[in-house]
Amino acid sequence: MEINPAVTFKHDRSIMYAKRPKVLIVGAGLAGLTLGMLLHKAGVPFEIYERAAEVKPLGSAMYFSCTTANLFKQCGIYEEFVSLGKYVSSIQMCNEDRELEFSVDFEGNEELYGAKGYMISRPQLYDLLIRQVPKEHIHLGKKVLTMDQGNNKALLRFSDGTEVEGDILVGADGAYSAVRQGMYEKLKKTNKLPASDALPLPFSTVCLLGQTHPLSAEEFPDLTNDKSQFRNFIATDKMYTWSTATTAQNTVCWGISLFLDEETSKENDSFRNSEWGPEAAAAMCEQVKDFPIISGGDKILTLQDLIDRSPKELISKAMLEEKVFKTWFDCRTVLIGDACHKFNPAGGVGAANAMHDAIALANGINGLPFHPVADEIEAAFRAYKEERIDWVEKAFGHSKVFRTLAGQSISSKVTRYIMRHTPLWVMHKVERRQNTHRPQVTFLPAAEDKGTVKTAPQPSLSIKAPEETDESKTTQAV
């Protein structure tokens, strides 16, 4: 099957039955699942295609705050999310001598912004989201070979010889998105791709991530605390930072970041395109095993104690990139999450921004007319990007600050000094700007936001779903 971009059919909606656009989502990660969950609730037909034959939600802990609370409330999963997570009152910045240097406190955020922040393991969150999407809409083992699009449809071809078509194609398939590469390839041929988008993804961090099996209070006394003990450790003379966080399941999530320079970038270059997984993790475990951690008790522990207590199949190594792409859409194709913006993990904002993308895009898709033409779809994509780009660029800057904060350069040391001596009111002002972004879905009952600080304007909240006309209802019945 081929698509001729020049061929188009004349739309006469007065004689067509009310048909919502069909959405093809590539990628069953957090972004793809969130979008699928929302489209399911909106009654928009969709399918999710994932290249892996089996999805393993690898990773460590993730922090979610007031910026996603309204989404979870609207979808009816907030209470379960809270039960799976553990309240975080601060981030503790520690040194290699196991001493607290300073902390970033979140006490009082519920009154200001309507919700507390919680630490949750990535597997727990992934399981929560995937249960919101009907199983028959998720297709595994579907590696995209090629994609095509025209005025009337989008087409995907998979490595198993099958193909599917729909009205909208969403690339939610990560930093090395096959959808983005296919879209960019065609744009480049017509000289429509910005030069910066054609450059290879820059990467500056190697991460090692894991989670222990459930531990006893004797093994890790901090687990008895009703608040998640979230600690970041800053090295004295090496380009590493590492973190630990306790969870509601009595596990300890941990992660190590190696910040690369020119030489170490070359050493890790052969790994950059590989999938997350345990195969490459063993060597890095050996390199970091003696790094000190704090357990909350008298025991002197190191990362080796956590590595020994972590299932090996859930320890993963990953290269993490940093870039905000300029081109997010073309014709019937659009990108969300890591496919269009990739943040350094130090800022902890990647997953939340992927979900914010899904909210804005779902609002736009839900507002499309029946039988939308390519121009109408592209206009919705443009509005989606306009709503998201400023927030994304702010989050990108925020993640870069936290990366600098954890590094060993002169600017890193200056940044830490400034943060230690910054007046509390200044920190609160910065925090307030970030936490005013508490987006909601327009087609679900609004969540009551009790925060005393008002939410920022959200243009897509004004978008309404199309209404069936008497003519379309009659035609559909016939």
Q: Which residue ranges make up each domain of the chain?
A: 20-85+116-200+323-406+422-456, 203-321
* pTM of the model as a whole: 0.89
Contact 130, 33 (CB under 8 A): yes
Which helix or strand (DSSP H or E) is residue 112 part of?
helix 109-113
For residue 462, give the amino acid letter.
Answer: S
CA distance 388 to 82: 26
- Over 60: is that where the pLDDT of 105 sits? yes
Interaxial angle between packed helices 424-435 and 66-74, expressed in degrees from 0 to 180 and rounded to the nearest 10: 30
pLDDT in tens, 364-397: 999 999 999 999 999 999 999 999 999 999 988 8
| Mean pLDDT in residue range 93-103 | 90
| φ/ψ of residue 78, rounded to 5 | -65, -45
Query: Of 55, 62, 58, nearest to 33 (Cα)?
Result: 55
CA distance 400 to 347: 7
Query: Of 71, 97, 99, 72, nearest to 83 (Cα)?
Result: 72
Q: What is the pLDDT of residue 303?
A: 97
CA angle 450, 451, 453 (to 5 degrees): 145
End-to-end CA separation in angstroms for the chain: 30
154 vs 16 pLDDT, higher one: 154
For residue 346, give the amino acid letter.
Answer: A
Q: What is the percentage of the chain residues whose pLDDT exceeds 90?
A: 66
What stretches of 332-461 adopt beta strand conformation (E)? 333-335, 341-342
**Mean pLDDT of the residues in the chain:** 87
| φ/ψ of residue 446, rounded to 5 | -65, 140
- 190 beta partners: none
What Å distances lie between residue 454 and 113, 117, 249, 438, 440, CA to CA?
A: 8, 18, 34, 9, 13
Sign of CA dihedral 236, 242, 245, 251: negative
Q: What is the pLDDT of residue 335?
A: 98
CA distance 365 to 38: 10
pLDDT in tens, 407-418: 556 666 666 666
Q: What is the pLDDT of residue 415?
A: 61
| Mean pLDDT in residue range 469-478 | 45
Q: What is the pLDDT of residue 273?
A: 43
Q: 301-302 and 292-293: which strand pairing?
A: antiparallel
CA distance 210 to 256: 9
CA distance 138 to 124: 19
**In this structure, which CATH number among 3.40.390.30, 3.40.50.2300, 3.50.50.60, 1.10.1060.10 belongs to the domain 20-85+116-200+323-406+422-456?**
3.50.50.60
CA angle 178, 183, 185 (to 5 degrees): 95
- Both tokens assigned to 180: 């983005």
Distance of CA 284 to the CA centre of its chain: 25
Beta-carbon contacts of 17 under 8 Å, excluding residues fewer than 6 positions away, are: 370, 472, 473, 475, 476
Contact 184, 147 (CB under 8 A): no
CA distance 305 to 149: 52
Query: Of 345, 31, 83, nearest to 207 (Cα)?
Result: 345
CA distance 454 to 432: 10
pLDDT in tens, 40-89: 999 999 999 999 998 776 778 899 999 999 999 999 999 999 999 999 99
| List of long-range contacts for 417-422, beta carbons under 8 Å, 24+ apart | 419/102, 419/104, 420/101, 420/102
CA distance 453 to 428: 12
Which helix or strand (DSSP H or E) is residue 353 part of?
helix 350-366
